[in-house]
Chains A and B, each alone.
Chain A
Amino acid sequence: MARPTSQPRSFPFLTVFVVLGLSAYAVFHLRAVLAPFFLSIALAYLLNPVINWMESQGLRREAAVVLFYIVVAGALTVAAQQVLPGIKEEFLELKQHLPAYLDHGQEALLRTQAKVLRWLPVEPVAAKGYTDKIYEPIIAQIQNVPSYLVGLFPFLSLFFLIPFITFFLLLDWHNILSGFIQLVPGRYVEQTLYLISEVETSLGNYLRGATIVVAAVGTASYVGLRILGIKYSIAIAALSGLASFIPYMGAILGAGVGCVAAWVQTGSILAGLKVVLLFTGIRLADEAFVQPVVSKHAVKLHPLVYLLSLMVGGELFGFVGLVFAVPAACIIKALLKVGWEWYTTEGYLVAPPLEGESSPYT
């Protein structure tokens, strides 16, 4: 096959990079405001295939979205009737017992400090100075627990804001995409669709995979903690499940918080160890049964890239950065892949593959 005779095109790489850079700068400064929008886009990504399916059956998109919201709202109402009394009970009990638990925790820490002091082969006064330096921040953090709990309340508004934004995103998903494609110069439509397809594949697969893991870990944690008779199992399971968005974090947090809760509630370290064993089992089961299903379609990121993206996300955006670090890494990976292919093929740095070129045809 003859090489194309056209001259390499001058794609406006500089313009694209300037626009991307300015967008990143704007996102960084508006991160707090944009967080609910990003979460809504992620949710819309997850739900869009369902709406598309309903639409392909002949339903008007508006009707499909409204119908879906009604069904989900109904299911959530039924679920809430089952779960809310449990949450309320847990919350009231926590409110009643939290001061006692905190005192208990402080006493336990002071007892451990005293024991450590006896074991250390240094002067008691000097040793107390060192151990105080270690324990003081922990005790200070324990005293801050109630304010942390109150600090979570602003996040509750997201439960109303995100479905609201998602509703409009789902309604106009095709219009937004079509509008964007219409804006792109005709000749670059195929490349743009290629980019969208790559981003959709990697981001969609990550989000769907992560949702499966979160649901599986959350449910398994709740069932396990109930069997072990640990109080506040809903809260601990929810924490562990949500933290599973970050690899390994769900099991670590679940084991840590669950172990302390079991220890404080029963006064026995054995109960705490049982919880640690439970979360080790959940982590292993996740690796053996859930990950093979999820990772089949999941994004292929090197563990070090995973770690780096989490560290950079956490450093730049705090907690929100941790949540969006991996999806952002997926998008950056897709952008780099498409950008590099674009650059090499446009500049004719590589010849396109000529499959079956030498085969004679009949």
Chain B
Amino acid sequence: MFKLLKKLFTDPELHKKKVFLRSLELFKDLSSKDLGFLVRSLHSRTYKEGEVIFEEGDIGRAMFILETGRVELGMREAASGKTRKIFTLESGDFFGEMAMLERLPRSASARAIERSHIHLLYRANLEEILHYHPRIGVSVMTHLAHLMSMRLRHANKLALVHQPPTYG
């Protein structure tokens, strides 16, 4: 009886989405209730193979969370004008967070290389979460800040390695 009622009244899709989101580093600290609010703030879309998600130079307003499929990131080479593949994202990866935070042009292009189901966290929805559910917002922003800091350290190291030697 209880099982029947549970089946009638609870949303299995919501549970599936919560399980997926909790598996991500970004949302691992959120409670079940917090994840429920977060799911309601996400938009979902399925991209066909080869479909462009965004292009380098587009103004970024959303962060993308890849649930299934694969997405290729590419950058245009200034000299040849051709797009060079820089990274392939797999299920569970997220991308586009930098431009979302800064509202700046995207630094790379993204294209689905197979049928991909993607969740979009739109900037206005993130702001709404920060305003009405600060606990969720702080947790997400802390993880994003941690990620940015790691990338920056990595970029600093790379810059030092490639710096020409100085003498005298």
The 4 closest A-B pairs by CB, nearest first: A4-B57, A56-B36, A6-B57, A197-B124
Question: Using Cβ atoms and an 8 Å threshold, which residues of chain B touch A63?
Answer: 8-9
Whether the pair B57, A181 counts as a contact (CB closer than 8 A) is no
Question: Using Cβ atoms and an 8 Å threshold, which residues of chain B touch A100?
Answer: none
Question: Using Cβ atoms and an 8 Å threshold, which residues of chain A touch B57?
Answer: 4-6
Whether the pair B104, A354 counts as a contact (CB closer than 8 A) is yes
Report B's interface with A, CB cutoff 8 A. Answer: 8-11, 14-15, 32-33, 36-37, 39-40, 43-47, 51-62, 76, 78, 81, 102-105, 112, 120, 122, 124-125, 152
Q: Mark A195-211, 1 if CB is under 8 A from B, else 0.
A: 00100010000000000
Whether the pair B59, A5 counts as a contact (CB closer than 8 A) is no
Cα of A350 to Cα of B108 in the assembled complex, Å: 20
* Closest B residue, CB atoms, query A51: B40
Residue of B32, B43, B59, B60 touching A178 (CB-CB under 8 A): B43
Number of A residues whose C-beta is below 8 Å from B? Answer: 32
Whether the pair B11, A58 counts as a contact (CB closer than 8 A) is yes
Question: Using Cβ atoms and an 8 Å threshold, which residues of chain A touch B33?
Answer: 56-57
26 A/B residue pairs, CB under 8 Å, sorted by A? A4-B56, A4-B57, A5-B81, A6-B76, A56-B36, A57-B33, A57-B36, A59-B9, A178-B44, A182-B46, A186-B45, A186-B47, A186-B51, A186-B52, A189-B53, A189-B62, A189-B120, A190-B59, A190-B61, A190-B120, A193-B62, A352-B59, A352-B103, A352-B104, A353-B104, A355-B102
Cβ distance A343 to chain B, nearest Cβ, rounded Å: 12
Cα of A61 to Cα of B37 in the assembled complex, Å: 14
* Closest B residue, CB atoms, query A362: B152
Cβ distance B65 to chain A, nearest Cβ, rounded Å: 14
Cα of A253 to Cα of B70 in the assembled complex, Å: 62
Question: Using Cβ atoms and an 8 Å threshold, which residues of chain B touch A187?
Answer: 52-55, 58
Whether the pair B40, A55 counts as a contact (CB closer than 8 A) is yes
Question: Using Cβ atoms and an 8 Å threshold, which residues of chain A touch B39?
Answer: 56
Cα of A63 to Cα of B78 in the assembled complex, Å: 55
Question: Using Cβ atoms and an 8 Å threshold, which residues of chain B touch A355?
Answer: 102
Whether the pair A193, B120 counts as a contact (CB closer than 8 A) is yes
Whether the pair B43, A61 counts as a contact (CB closer than 8 A) is no
Indicate whether A60 reaches chain B with its CB closer than 8 angstroms.
Answer: yes
Residue of A4, A58, A182, A352 touching B36 (CB-CB under 8 A): A58
Cα of A182 to Cα of B118 in the assembled complex, Å: 11
Q: Scan residues 104-138 of chain A and give those whose CB is less than 8 A from a CB of chain B.
A: none
Other A-B pairs beyond A187-B54, A193-B120, 11, CB < 8 Å: A55-B14, A59-B9, A59-B10, A60-B11, A177-B43, A189-B120, A190-B61, A191-B61, A201-B124, A345-B59, A353-B103
Indicate whether A33 reaches chain B with its CB closer than 8 angstroms.
Answer: no
Indicate whether A248 reaches chain B with its CB closer than 8 angstroms.
Answer: no
Residue of A61, A190, A194 touching B54 (CB-CB under 8 A): A190
* Closest B residue, CB atoms, query A60: B11
* Closest B residue, CB atoms, query A355: B102
Cβ distance A286 to chain B, nearest Cβ, rounded Å: 27
Indicate whether A1 reaches chain B with its CB closer than 8 angstroms.
Answer: yes
Whether the pair A5, B76 counts as a contact (CB closer than 8 A) is yes
Cα of A59 to Cα of B9 in the assembled complex, Å: 6
* Closest B residue, CB atoms, query A63: B9
Contacts known (A187-B52, A193-B120, A201-B124); A56 close to B59, Cβ less than 8 A: no
Question: Using Cβ atoms and an 8 Å threshold, which residues of chain B touch A56?
Answer: 33, 36-37, 39-40
Which of A6, A61, A178 gathers the greatest number of chain B CB atoms within 10 Å? Answer: A6
Cβ distance A197 to chain B, nearest Cβ, rounded Å: 4
Indicate whether A52 reaches chain B with its CB closer than 8 angstroms.
Answer: yes
* Closest B residue, CB atoms, query A198: B124
Whether the pair A193, B78 counts as a contact (CB closer than 8 A) is no
Whether the pair A189, B45 counts as a contact (CB closer than 8 A) is yes
Cβ distance B36 to chain A, nearest Cβ, rounded Å: 4
Q: Scan residues 44-60 of chain A and give those whose CB is less than 8 A from a CB of chain B.
A: 52, 55-60
Cβ distance A213 to chain B, nearest Cβ, rounded Å: 23
Residue of A6, A52, A55, A193 touching B55 (CB-CB under 8 A): A6
Residue of A60, A177, A201 touching B9 (CB-CB under 8 A): A60
Indicate whether A361 reaches chain B with its CB closer than 8 angstroms.
Answer: yes
Cα of A61 to Cα of B152 in the assembled complex, Å: 43
Cα of A354 to Cα of B105 in the assembled complex, Å: 10
Cα of A6 to Cα of B82 in the assembled complex, Å: 11
Question: Using Cβ atoms and an 8 Å threshold, which residues of chain A touch B60?
Answer: 190
